[in-house]
Amino acid sequence: MFDGVVLGVDPGLAMTGLAVLRSANGHPQLDWSDTVRTPGGMAEPLRLRRVYGAVRDALDRHRAAVVAVERVMWGRNVGSALSVARATGVVLLAAADAGVPVEEYAPLEAKMAVTGVGNAAKDQVRRALVGMHGLGAVPVQPDAADAVAVALCHLQQSKMRELMRGSARPQRVARS
């Protein structure tokens, strides 16, 4: 398991979930969570700036070593997916401006890491965060709870991703 501080983000234009998990010696702890809300009547660039500012503030305040973002899934509602993609873009920009690396995880990956089931419902994810993983004060608000889940997913999966990247590199063969 990754030891350090991770900012989990469930991006969205109307609501973005944020959560900071800290792990030491393989024991995750929820330090903070929040939901950034932007009013529907506000111009989209201003809403995106609000998301950017909240992510930068969280990075500055909690000194995260990495940002774990739930990857946008393109489904039937292309308009909604486009708004989520734009929010994801400002999250990536905020992390880049802060010099913090980003890892993206599909919703299925996060649900599998937390519950063992890829199609788990939001309430199952929250119950597993508390019951199976022993995280206290998991937010009831779904976007913030999803941010906790993606952060925990990173804590669990990051070492495996590192190993996979390392094994994908071409190996030099010594000539005789």
* Residues involved in catalysis: 10, 70, 143
How far is 127 from 135, CA to CA, in rounded Å? 10
Within a 10 A sphere around the Cβ of 170, how many other Cβ atoms?
A: 5
Q: Residue 15: how many CA atoms within 13 Å on its side-chain side?
A: 11
DSSP 8-state symbol, 116: S
DSSP 8-state symbol, 141: S
**Pseudo-torsion of CA 54, 60, 62, 65, nearest 10°?**
110
E strand or H helix that includes residue 162: helix 142-168
The amino acid present at 55, given as its one-letter code, is: V
